[in-house]
Structure 1
Amino acid sequence: MNNESAGSVSTDLETNIRLLTQQFQASEDLHTRAFHYKGHQGCLLYLVSCTDKMKLQSDILKPLLQAQEGRIIDVLPVLNLAVLFDFKAASAAMLQGQCAILLDHTAEIVVADVSASAEQAVTAPHNEQTIRGSQEGFVDEIGKNMQLIQKRLKTTRFLHRQFTLGQESPTIVRLLYIEDFADPAVIDKISERLLSHRDTMLKSPGQLMNRLEGSRLSLFPQLLLTERPDTTAAHLMEGRVVMLVDGSAFAVIMPATFFMFFQAADDFNERWWNGTVFRIFRMVSFMLGISMPSIYIAIVSKHFDILPIDLVFSLKASLENIPFSPLMEALFMTIVLDLLREAAIRLPQSIATTLSIVGGLVIGSEVVNANLVSTTMIVVISLTAVASFSVPSHEMRLAIRLISFPMMIAASLLGFTGIAFSFSFIFMHISKLETFGVPYFYPAAPFKPRRLLNAIVQLPGRVFGKRRPERGSS
């Protein structure tokens, strides 16, 4: 009775079968198969939905029936074998596609991997497309993602730590890093935060990202997500840590700094002049995305006198019959644009394309005809949207959309002074922000001129020569 209450394995086969079966609440997915091994009664337990029956029959059942001597773990032609002594661990292994082998008069459970894997073809990345770069993207299977990274990192220093998170529905999570390149303190800190996960189920990597971020109140993303194995391998070689979650086609790169969100794979596949110019364009687009509506509001509300007289007359004419303030116009058009963007994401692709074209044309023309929004505001919001779309990171694009709202309010109240205060607050915030002990605004704060130049300008490698990566830095 003590063994039963403790959940440990006894020497009685029927008791062990009953207790292991109870772990699954009499699930119809659980099947058993009795067999004899060296004169002893045995039983094979497996979940049909997680098991490859051909593997089970050829690699487990057939060798057991034909074996004449030796231990079970010595006669099975399976690489992934383990001996367990409690039912909870055995049931967790069975949920991962392993079968449990019980033998009479033996107080142990042998589990062997016979999992059924649905092979998912490697396709081109959907969100990080390149012209001349690799056309391989991550898939939902963590083992396949490891292979894609390992194919690009031919080094014996490539290591990983594996975690099983989720009390009721275990999910495999792996931390990848290169020994002597990644900072051990960062690895230990990430591992500690992962082990603090006590939820019953890991629904998405976003649950872990909320725990891993240093400042949860910051609007700026502190973790970089990518679906490209070549990008992941490059960050590993620069001393960063990568997290893979089984069932997710994205890798999470830590620690992330501000300038990393403006780098694209094409920067390193084109001539350095092209990479430099377009990286600078993306940074300028970030500034325009958060400030362009605010600048327009400040000019129209407080600072008409800075414009040429001809432009003043043009703006006055477009605003003549508009009953709302510039702030209300900007908020209305920004919200409408965000609603169109969200609808295009959630709808099927064939319908989303039609909605984007028809919705944009109809709404844009009709709100002007109804004198709800000025034509100049339509142009400003459209340019703002185009500027935000040029930023490679989806998380940074979301941050641009959120930051622009309080900046528009500040511009409406204080004009250019409000914009100046907003930018000052933003730069103070990102200068103070840290991710796993690494300054978020590195190498601008603390100021490292040589590395800042390399972060902004995609210079040829021979300019700086070979350099060893700084642990955790950009």
Structure 2
Amino acid sequence: MDMGQDSYPISEEMEVNIQKLFQCFHSSDDVRSRAFTLHGVKGSLLYLTTITDSTRLQKEILGPLLQAGEGRLEDILPILDIGVVSDLKSAAAAMLQGSCAILLEHRLDIILVDASARVVPSVGEPQNEQIIRGSQVGFVDDVAINAQLVHQRLKNVNLVERHFTLGSESPTHVKLLYMCDVADMNVVDDIIANLLANQDTFIKSPGQITNRLENSHLSPFPQLLFTERPDSTVSHLMEGRVALLVDGSSFATILPVTFFMFFQAADDFNVRWWNGTFFRLLRLLSVMIGIALPSVYIAIVSNHFDVLPIDLVFSLKASLENIPFNPFMEAIFMTTVLELLREAAIRLPKSIASTLSIVGGLVIGSEVVNANLVSTAMIVVISLTAVASFSIPSHEMRLAIRLISLPIMIASSLLGFVGIAFSFSLLFMHLSKLETFGVPYFYPFMPFKPRRILTTLVQLPKRIFGGKASDRRAS
């Protein structure tokens, strides 16, 4: 929509205004008008057939106008939200959102009434955060419904909601939710300033908005937590964090975040505390396995056979006897094959993906061993690494772990255990320096908070180690 000007004033001639509005939409076939007479004054309704509800137009707008007695036009319509604009550009923008424009002869403004046709998606189960016990309701692609799901679970007067519209060519609605009594208002102000600084004219995807909120774009670690569960979103809000809902996304973006938040699952709080603690520690162990297991195997086979018991040395030597490649090349080959299978399983239809995953894994795994391309020990190592990465709840953290393991494998093949130690030193230095909106990413280890370390790693009952929501914040 472009008329070549910044302002489009309204004329006293209604037909001129109608013609200009049609020109705004380049005389598109879905722009319709309906003439009527109100108190002896000619009027017209303008609307887009593709995004307005014809039933609402007839019952709530056109019907009352045709049957109106005395009174102002704004008082005749049985609708709560009625807008008035004084230029054609604003009227055209409102029509794109589903509003109906009401024009009257000799009137220098346009009445806007919401008549949008809403496609209400059914609220289904979360696909990526499934749990055994607890709520089975997940977010959908409609930002209004997602906000409603949060409000249904958090009936609190301190819950504040801010609305933003980003993208001038195709407006995208964004809602920012936070608890004004526990959230850090400096963080909220920084997020709002970041959103308002977005000058993109077209929002291709929700990631175009959320990616701008990351403090360090060079870090491999995710600095935003995505959840498709309203109950998890409410929990984060009550702990002082901010939730961002974007139209067209079935995920809520939580910020600021810390490293250990990515290893908590909703199931942890639906089971007994010692079960939740065990599974949380198991996930943290899986991180170490995903990062270090291939590197440790490469270092041992390449440089440090002497650390193994003699029986295990003979077993490994037998499996490596006819392999023409070094352990690093084996690991790269198997990791690439695994990533290809994973990517193919995601892109293919579900009915085919499950077959591909099973058949592909069995056939490729057995045949590469028979062809003496990869040792059986390497198959076991890569399989354990893949299983460990699958146990991490956050998809973004899983990707980061797989990415980080590659340079550590290179260091281990060149320098052995020294390379692994050096790599982990750099890794912990980076985690200690990283921040998200002023919150230390590696909290509570940096800065060191012994009391918070206990509650981060161990899920103790509240009667043993309770506290207010403000004491559990990540800041």
* Count, aligned residues: 473
- The alignment status of 1:153 with 2:154, answered yes or no, reads yes
Distance in 1 (CA, whole Å) between partners of 2:185 and 2:108 is 39
What is the match of residue 394 of structure 1? 395
1:471 Cα offset (Å) = 8.6
Equivalent residue, structure 1, for 2:335: 334
Q: Secondary structure at the match of 1:50?
A: coil
Question: Take 2:261 and 2:92, find their aligned partners in 1: how far apart are those partners?
Answer: 42
Contact 2:206 2:247 (8 Å CA) reproduced: no
Structure 2 counterparts to residues 341-380 of structure 1, below 5 A = 341-380=342-381
Shift in CA distance, 383/460, structure 1 to aligned 2, threshold 3 Å? same
- Counterpart residue number, 1:34: 35
Confirm or deny: 8 A CA contact 1:3 1:10 kept in the other structure.
no
Q: Which amino acid aligns with 2:328?
A: L
Deviations 1:240-264 (A, max 9, x none): 1100011111000011110100000
Please state if 1:7 is matched with 2:33. no
Matched, 1:438 2:439: yes
Moved more, 251-260 or 9-18: 9-18
In structure 2, the residue matched to 1:139 is: 140
Contact 2:238–2:469 (Cα < 8 Å) also in 1: no
Match of 1:281 in 2: 282
User: Does the 8 A contact of 1:183 with 1:472 survive in 2?
Assistant: no
Decide which moves more: 103-112 or 283-292: 103-112
- Preserved contact between residue 182 and residue 471 of structure 1 (Cα < 8 Å): no
Q: Please give the per-residue CA displacement for 1:427-464, whole angstroms capped at 9, x wherever unaligned.
A: 11111001111111111111111112111111101122
What TM-score comes out, normalization by structure 2 length?
0.97
Structure-2 separation of matches of 1:199 and 1:20: 25
Paired residues of 2:220 and 2:404 also in contact (CA < 8 A) = yes
Give the structure 1 partner of residue 296 of structure 2.
295
Q: Within the alignment, does 1:246 sit opposite 2:247 as a pair?
A: yes
How far apart are the structure 1 equivalents of 2:318 and 2:4? Answer: 86
Instruction: Summarize deviations over 1:232-286 as a string: whole Å, max 9, x none.
Output: 0000000111000111110000111101000000000100011000000000101
Determine whether 1:455 maps to 2:465: no
The one-letter code of the counterpart of 2:442 is F
Q: What residue identity is the alignment partner of 2:340?
A: L
CA distance in 1, matches of 2:63, 2:177: 37
Q: What secondary structure is seen at the aligned counterpart in 2 of 1:290?
A: helix
Within 2, Cα distance between the matches of 1:342 and 1:163? 35
Distance 2:9 2:439 in 1: 45
Asked whether 1:185 is paired with 2:186, we answer yes
Tell whether the 8 Å contact from 2:7 to 2:89 is kept in structure 1 after alignment: no
Distance 1:74 1:442 in 2: 57
Change (3 A) 1:472 1:98: farther
Change (3 A) 1:151 1:320: same
For the 8 Å contact 1:3–1:9, the answer to whether it is kept is no
Q: Could you tell me which amino acid in structure 2 is paired with residue 297 of structure 1? A: I
1:270 equivalent to 2:271? Answer yes
Contact 2:47 2:100 in 1 (8 A): yes
Pick which of 195-204 and 422-431 moved more.
195-204
Larger CA deviation: 383-392 vs 437-446: 437-446
Structure 2 CA distance, aligned partners of 1:72 and 1:298?
80
Q: For residues 81-110 of structure 1, what are the alpha-carbon distances to aligned partners after superposition, in whole Å with 9 as ceiling and x for unaligned?
A: 211222232222212211111111111121
Whichever residue aligns with residue 456 of structure 2, its letter is: A
1:6 partner SS: coil
Question: In structure 2, the residue corresponding to 1:49 is in which secondary structure?
Answer: coil
Q: How far off its partner does 1:212 sit?
A: 0.4
Partner of residue 406, structure 1? 407
Give the letter for the 2:237 counterpart. L
RMSD value, Cα? 1.5
Residues 8-40 of structure 1: CA distance to partner in whole angstroms, max 9, x if unpaired?
Answer: 323221222122222212211111111112221
Mapped partners of 1:458, 1:65: distance in 2: 65
Question: Which residue of 2 is the match for residue 464 of structure 1?
Answer: 465
Amino acid in the other structure paired with 1:90:
A
Please name the residue that 1:315 is paired with: 316
Q: In 1, are the aligned partners of 2:240 and 2:469 still within 8 Å (CA)? A: no
Post-superposition CA distance 1:362-419 (Å, at most 9, x none): 1001111111111100000000000000000000000011101111001111111111
Whole-Å separation in 1 of the counterparts to 2:91 and 2:463: 55
**Match for residue 256 of structure 2?**
255
Task: Give the whole-Å Cα distance in 1 for the aligned partners of 2:223 and 2:101.
Answer: 42
Q: 1:131 touches 1:266 (CA, 8 Å); kept in 2?
A: yes
Structure 1 gaps, min length 5: none
* Contact 1:438-1:472 within 8 A present in 2 as well: no
- SS of residue in 2 equivalent to 1:60: helix
2:202 — aligned with what? 201
Higher mean C-alpha displacement, 70-79 vs 59-68: 70-79
The amino acid that maps onto 2:366 is S
In 2, distance between residues paired with 1:283 and 1:195? 37
Q: Is the 8 A contact 1:255 1:472 kept in 2?
A: no
